[in-house]
Amino acid sequence: MKKYLLIGCSILFFGCNDGDLQIETVDFNTIDTVQNCDAVSVSTSNVLFKINGDEALIVTIPSGLLKNTVTTTDLESSIPGNSQVSYRIFSDNVTSAYFCDSPPPLSPTVMEEIEAQSGSVLITTSSTDNITFTHTIKLSGITFLNEDGSRITDLQINEFGTVTTGS
């Protein structure tokens, strides 16, 4: 009887699979600086990014979303409709040269890129002198879906950062 109990317990113990559950976190809260290659403009689309070692969070906002007028409510752009958010993992630490040089450097290489499947970019604009405008960019409800079909929903990237434009 003990032999059968031992065999049964062994089958249960070694036969269980956790489903290779992998929880990833996209955390850019400690990175304050929003980078871009060209001057941020209200009349063209803008590619903004934050770098955290070997990771990058890239936000592309369409032309006209940034406005040189003070707003009292958030301007919203849907993802993946008008705006896009991408998360990239590189083979080594990455710098702004990867995004700004043409052609980009050969190293580091992109190991994985995940596009946001849903969410919104929210922008609030303020000004102290009506010449320089500060745009606060927030991300809301961002959901990434990796190539394995695993959903990565992260609330750690709500505050993307600020950029300025002038009139």
Q: Which pLDDT tens digit goes with each residue over 148-158?
A: 777 776 555 67
Question: Which residues 6+ apart lie within 8 Å of 129 measured at CB?
Answer: none
Q: Which pLDDT tens digit goes with each residue over 44-69?
A: 999 999 999 999 999 999 999 999 99
- 11, pLDDT greater than 70: no
Q: Which pLDDT tens digit goes with each residue over 103-136?
A: 888 899 999 899 999 899 999 999 989 899 999 9
Percentage of the chain modeled with pLDDT above 70: 82
Give whole-number Cα distances, 68 to 65, 72, 94, in Å: 10, 13, 32
Give the model's pLDDT for residue 155: 53
- 80, pLDDT greater than 70: yes
Give whole-number Cα distances, 41 to 15, 26, 38, 85, in Å: 58, 27, 9, 18
User: Where are the strands (E) in the chain, listed by range?
Assistant: 46-52, 55-61, 75-79, 84-90, 110-127, 132-145, 151-153, 159-166
Q: Which amino acid is at 138?
A: K
pLDDT greater at residue 153 or residue 30? 30
pTM of the model: 0.80
